[in-house]
């Protein structure tokens, strides 16, 4: 039996506009889902990086170690680490929870020099290549990871460094420690 036409004053009106919008969005969702399966968007850096100036005060107030990420815009392994580690929601949440994260961006190649606080930190921790992660905890020796040994090993190192297991590694040790596909970009100073 055919249904009676809907009355404009009825209480059971079909939400035609909403149904249209839902249908169109569902189609777009399927299309975009297929597209992004082959062209995934670049992950955003989800770590809450703190300014260099406020890091030590914050570390003292929260009793967390500071995680310095010595990096540079031109450095390909740094971009890889940014996407794979700092762009991963779980890893980023862990870093935000365990550390006071501070990004120390090298601008010497672009601008010819670095900001004094950046130069001072690089000199204090003897940074020879990018990326380098340094964990500084009050009253103990800094822990250093030079190069990017891949997502899993970096995550493992970050967990262990938070509990103070590692000690400083030299650049040579870091390369030996890192798996075969580990990557790092030497600073200009050690190239010349």
What mask, x for binding another protein by CB under 8 A, covers residues 3 to 22? ------x-xxxxx--xx-xx
Give the phi and the psi of residue 51 in degrees, each rounded to 5: -65, 150
164 binds another protein (CB under 8 A): no
Separation in Å, CA 77 to CA 15, 71, 80, 102: 52, 9, 5, 18
Q: How far apart are CA 167 and CA 161, in angstroms?
A: 8
Give the shortest CB-42-to-another protein separation in angstroms.
4
Nearest to 180 by CA among 143, 145, 148, 146: 148
| 138 in contact with another protein (CB under 8 A) | no
Residues 34-63 that bind another protein (CB under 8 A): 35-37, 40-46, 48, 50, 57-58, 61-63
User: Minimum Å distance from CB 26 to another protein?
Assistant: 5
Give the one residue of 3, 97, 172, 180 binding another protein; rule: CB under 8 A.
97
């Amino acid at each position: 039996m055919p249904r009676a036409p809907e009355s404009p004053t009825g209480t059971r009106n079909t939400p035609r506009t909403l149904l249209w919008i839902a249908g169109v969005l569902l189609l777009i969702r399927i299309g975009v889902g297929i597209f992004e399966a082959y062209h995934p968007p670049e992950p955003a850096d989800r770590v809450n990086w703190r300014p260099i100036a406020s890091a030590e005060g914050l570390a003292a107030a929260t009793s967390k170690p500071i995680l310095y990420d010595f990096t540079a815009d031109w450095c390909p392994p740094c971009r890889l680490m940014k996407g794979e580690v700092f762009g991963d929601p779980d890893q980023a949440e862990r870093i935000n929870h365990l550390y006071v994260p501070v990004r120390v961006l090298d601008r010497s190649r672009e601008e010819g020099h670095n900001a004094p606080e950046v130069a001072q930190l690089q000199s204090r921790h003897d940074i020879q290549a990018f990326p380098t992660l340094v964990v500084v905890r009050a009253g103990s020796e800094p822990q250093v990871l030079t190069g990017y040994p891949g997502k899993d090993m970096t995550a493992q190192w970050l967990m262990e460094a938070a509990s103070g297991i590692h000690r400083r590694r030299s650049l040579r040790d870091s390369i030996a420690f890192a798996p075969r596909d580990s990557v790092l970009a030497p600073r200009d100073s050690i190239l010349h």
